[in-house]
Structure formats: structure tokens, C-alpha cells
Amino acid sequence: MIDILIEGAGFDYPDGTCALKQVDARIPASSTIALTGPNGAGKTTLARLLNGLLVPTRGRVLVGEIDTSQVPASRVAGFVGYVFQNPRRQVFASTVLEEVSFGPRNLGRTETQVEEAVQVALEELDLSKRADYHPYELSQSELRRVALASVLAMQTPVLILDEPTASLDGADQERLLRVMAGLRRRGKTVLVITHDMDFVAEECERMLVLRGGQVAADGTPEEVFAAGPGPGLERPAVWRMAQALDRPGILRSAALLDSLRPGPGA
């Protein structure tokens, strides 16, 4: 288990666009954190700094003891897995099995370790019967699961999920929640880039809100929603319903239901 330390990190794109001004944050091991903010706030840029796809223009990012600017991205990838929002930008192999095997094999795992990790990932994402399919023969939902399975099989201590709830139906939502629960049980650190405040309220223990390339808020969902997440972000539906029912501050649906149950002898 490793911590990630972001110290004064900024990033300018080659055209001069300043995507991140100065970000200071610590992501402790075994935490589940939402990285959120309006479009253009710098979320994806920051996430790519964390797994070495980009290197800070200013400041530094430490993944455990590793300064990401001092090592190749391939080394950082052994610690930080990244599931892209659009799986077609990530998936490239000719079969699902090859796709999910690529990551752990590229990290130098033994064939036995690769086979075990791939089998677990395919079963966890209900893809075992699709192992021999070409990924582009699958539905968009299944393709998203292939992208997630390919990162799960790498068994990195840190995972970044980019908008994992986008366009999911009920069954896929339930599957994602099972995956999240499994990651927490295994002590993984999960950073979720998302605009889905309902998901944040239910699944995340901390929120890191970016605005204009800087940290605008950093705290528990209770703290951030109480203060107001700011323009472009709504409080979750359960929060708003709880307010209407005179149960202020409740974020999770189970807690709201508990508060509405009559007490003993009622």
C-alpha cells in the first residue's frame, strides 16, 4: 500500500494552456476519493500526472517513493492503473483474453500469476464467456467491462476510474458497486473522476474538487456538500430529499431510510 503526494503540481500544455496552476494534496493508501469539478477544471490532467502519462511542468508527484518525473511511465503503471472513460481509447488486442492478459504480462508477472489474475478479473466482471471474442464484437457495456478487467488484472495498489458510472444501466451499476466493494476489501486506493454526486455520496469517503486548475475544496462528502460544491455541481438527490424531509445532512439512502423508520413502541 502506498500514499500519493502532490506538491505544488502544475501543468501547461505545449500550446500554452495552463491546465493546472498549483495543486497540493495527499491521497492516502486504502482510500476511496472522488476527483470532481466542472468541465475544464483539470481533473483528467491531474489524473494523468498521477500515473505518469503526463509529467508536472511545476512541482512534483510522488507515488510512494517514486517521483513520477524521474522514471518512465511504464514503471508508474505498475503502481497506478487507469481506466479511461472511453474504452475504445484503451482496448487494442484481438481477443478479450489477450487484452486482459496484456497488463499483468507487461509488468513481468509469471504466466501462472497472469492466468490467475486474468481469471479473477474476468469472473468479477462477468466476462469469462467472452474471453475468446474480439472486444469490438461486444456491446459498449461489455467493452467498458473489458477495460476495467484489464486494469483489475494488473493488481495495482492504486486505480483511477474515469467517469465509471456514465451511461450504465441498473445491472452494470450493481456490478460496479460489487467491484468497488471488492477493491475496498483488498485495501486498494481508488480515485474516481466523476460528475455523479449520488455515486460520490454513497461510495466515496473524501472529495477533491478542482476549479480553474486549483483545489477548490478537499474534505468528506458531508463537509463539501454542507458548504456547497460550487457552480456546475449539484448536491446528491438523497441530500436534497433529506432536507425536504427535515433530515438535514444525510447523504446515504440507507441512512435516510433508517431515519424514517418508526422507533420502538411507535
107-165 residue pLDDT tens: 999 999 999 999 999 999 999 999 999 999 999 999 999 999 999 999 999 999 999 99
Residue 93 pLDDT: 96
132, 133, 139, 143: CA torsion to nearest 10: 60
Which residues have C-beta within 8 Å of that of residue 75, sequence separation ≥ 6? 52, 66
Are 175 and 253 within one domain?
no
| Confidence at 264, pLDDT banded by 50, 70, 90 | low
Are 210 and 254 within one domain?
no
Are 227 and 143 within one domain?
yes
Are 201 and 127 within one domain?
yes
Over the stretch 64-98, which tens digit does the pLDDT of each residue have? Answer: 999 999 999 999 999 999 999 999 889 999 999 99
Are 115 and 179 within one domain?
yes
Does residue 266 have a pLDDT over 90? no
Does residue 265 have a pLDDT over 80? no
Are 19 and 58 within one domain?
yes
Kind of pairing between the strands at 18-27 and 4-12: antiparallel
Looking at every residue in the chain, the average pLDDT score rounds to 94
How large is the greatest C-alpha to C-alpha distance in the chain, in angstroms?
A: 68
Q: Look at the alpha carbons of 188, 191, 194, 196 in this order and tell me if their dihedral is positive or negative.
A: positive
Are 156 and 213 within one domain?
yes
Are 218 and 251 within one domain?
no
Residue 245 structural domain: 236-266
Residue 241 pLDDT: 93
Give the Cα separation of 97 and 94 in Å (integer): 9
Over the stretch 219-242, which tens digit does the pLDDT of each residue have? Answer: 999 999 999 878 888 899 999 999
**E-strand stretches of 96-229:** 158-162, 189-193, 206-211, 214-219
Pick from 1, 21, 25: which is nearest to 10 by CA?
21
Which residues have C-beta within 8 Å of that of residue 187, sequence separation ≥ 6? 1, 29, 30, 157
Are 170 and 92 within one domain?
yes
Residues 149/122, Cβ–Cβ less than 8 Å: yes
